[in-house]
Amino acid sequence: MGKKLKALTAGVNETQLATTVKESAHQIWLAGLGAFAKAQEEGGKVFDALVKEGEVIQARTRKITEEKIAEVAGKTAGTWDRLEHVFEDRVARALGSLGVPTKKDIDKLARRVAELTAVVQELSEQTAKVPAKAAAKPAAKPAAKPAAKAAEPVAAAPAAAPAPVKKAAARKPAAKAPAVTPADVLNTIVKSNA
């Protein structure tokens, strides 16, 4: 490179060489300033174009992201439902192994207690009616028999004084069955199921 420079400068003296280098450097400097000015003018336009392109890319990226989130959310919801179902099954099995009744068992027992309470109530009403009728019938019959017996001696001996009529002994009312409460029925059911 040194040889080429010497060849170029061989016919030129030093002052001319200095002037040529100086002019060349000045032209390079002016070209740089021109490029800088051009970049500043066009820079605003380029910047605006880049902002618009960034907005388009952001909108596209946001749309894709929302689709992916919706897809993952759908999968997650299904997973949570399955997990909840598995958890409920395991808890139910654990409670069953401990002997804790389920809601279904308690509802079934409540219906059965209601049915038995109705039956007990009906039977209580029937037993209350039956002893009253039974007590009324025996009291009427013994009263009729002594009257008939008293009538026979009168016919045989009309002059004799009438025999005093015995009153029929009052019967004691039949002992009532103790009232059955729903708690008694429930205890009986629990003991029979155990």
Write the pLDDT tens digit of every residue in 40-78.
777 777 778 888 888 999 999 999 999 888 888 877 777
Q: What is the pLDDT of residue 125?
A: 87
pLDDT at 157 over 50: no
Can you read off the two tokens belonging to residue 36? 């800088």
CA 37 distance to own-chain centroid: 71
Ranking 5-9, 31-35, 48-52 by mean pLDDT, the lowest is 5-9
Q: Which residue has the tokens 């299904």?
A: 78
Q: What is the pLDDT of residue 164?
A: 58
The mean pLDDT value of the chain amounts to 75
**What is the pLDDT averaged over residues 148-166?**
51
Q: What is the pLDDT of residue 40?
A: 76
Work out whether the CA dihedral 28, 34, 35, 40 comes out positive or negative: positive
Q: What is the pLDDT of residue 72?
A: 82
More confident residue, 15 or 87: 87
Q: Give the model's confidence band at 151: pLDDT under 50 very low, under 70 low, under 90 confident, else very high.
A: very low
Ranking 11-15, 55-59, 159-163 by mean pLDDT, the lowest is 159-163
| Cα–Cα distance for residue pair 91/97, rounded to 1 Å | 10
Can you read off the two tokens belonging to residue 54? 């960034």
**What is the pLDDT averaged over residues 20-25?**
86
Q: Burial code of 18-31, b = ≥16 C-beta within 10 A, e = fewer?
A: eeeeeeeeeeeeee
pLDDT at 153 over 80: no
More confident residue, 41 or 143: 41
Q: What is the pLDDT of residue 155?
A: 45
Main-chain phi, psi angles of 10, to 5 degrees? -65, -40
Q: Which residue has the tokens 């155990």?
A: 194
